Amino acid sequence: MEDNKFFKLVWRFNGLLISVTGILAIGVLLFAMYQIFKDITRERNTQNIVNFEESGKAKESWRLGHVTSLTSHRTLMIPLNSDQSFNRGYFSKSSNSTRNYLFINTETNLNKWLFNHTNFLIESASQLRIGDYSSKEPVIAILYSLVKLDSNSDNRLTPSDLTTVSISKPNGSGYKEILTDVEHVIGNTLLSETELFIIYQLNGKSLSSIINLTNFEIVNTKELPKVGL
């Protein structure tokens, strides 16, 4: 009799243990399913992408970005950013990108846009000045990397497309394209107040050019040596 009671207790304990284990397993499974569902349905955010294929379905909003002071606060430079939002039913996504720049003269309160449209994707806008990023030297010019055309035919403007390198004066005037169909901009450095050195890839070649910052003309271009040669 005592043995039977003992075995009954063991069976009950085992049954309870199996039930608790099952409940925990179901709880873990439900939690994992919830995390997967939350990941699938969460809003996806991307940067530097302008979508064309769903332009009719997209909700596009515009806002001015962070204000940058140039030329001793006499000129303000403000990016115009777009936010394209798409609703896929079970998830949503949005794409943020810079499409233009506004320049404001704080002395006269006159303003001008860099472009009279918002058709391009502006990847970057670098302030060229002697010294490092924290330098207090005046800005000599502004160097832009932008995407004008969907060169890889994926119905989007992205950094994967060919790039146009352009330049303007610190107040946004004198805008000029200096390099087109660039595959990759490797880097640049100021040689002096009148010369910019830039390294880039074009037509499968690595090149370096010197740009005159007085007239925004390329004065010298050379191909870089290939690896091992």
* pLDDT at 23 exceeding the cut of 90: no
pLDDT bracket for residue 98 (50, 70, 90): very high
Q: pLDDT averaged over the chain?
A: 82
| SS3 readout for 141-200 | EEEEEEECCCCCCCCEECCCCCEEEEEECCCCCCCEEEEEEECEEEEEEEEECCEEEEEE
Residue 65, exposed/middle/buried by CB under 10 A (0-12, 13-18, 19+)?
middle
| 175 vs 87, residue with greater confidence | 175
What residues have CB less than 8 Å from 73, skipping those under 6 apart?
Answer: 106
Identify the pLDDT of residue 48: 77
Please answer whether residues 170 and 71 qualify as being in contact, where contact means their C-beta atoms are separated by less than 8 angstroms. yes
For 201-220, write each residue's pLDDT tens digit: 999 999 999 999 999 999 99
Question: Which of 1-15, 153-167, 188-202 has the lowest average pLDDT?
Answer: 1-15
Give phi and psi for 60, each to the nearest 5: -110, 125
Question: Closest by alpha carbon to 87, among 58, 111, 116?
Answer: 58
For 142-178, write each residue's pLDDT tens digit: 999 999 999 998 888 888 999 999 999 999 999 999 9
| pTM of structure | 0.75
Identify the pLDDT of residue 162: 96
Average pLDDT over residues 95-102: 91
- What is the rounded distance in angstroms from the CA atom of residue 28 to the CA atom of residue 109? 62
Domain boundaries, the chain: 1-42, 44-223
- What is the rounded distance in angstroms from the CA atom of residue 186 to the CA atom of residue 207? 10
pLDDT bracket for residue 85 (50, 70, 90): confident
pLDDT bracket for residue 41 (50, 70, 90): very low
* pLDDT at 93 exceeding the cut of 80: no
Measured CA distances, 37 to 18, 31, 88, 94 (Å): 28, 10, 14, 19
Residue 90, exposed/middle/buried by CB under 10 A (0-12, 13-18, 19+)?
exposed
* pLDDT at 4 exceeding the cut of 70: no
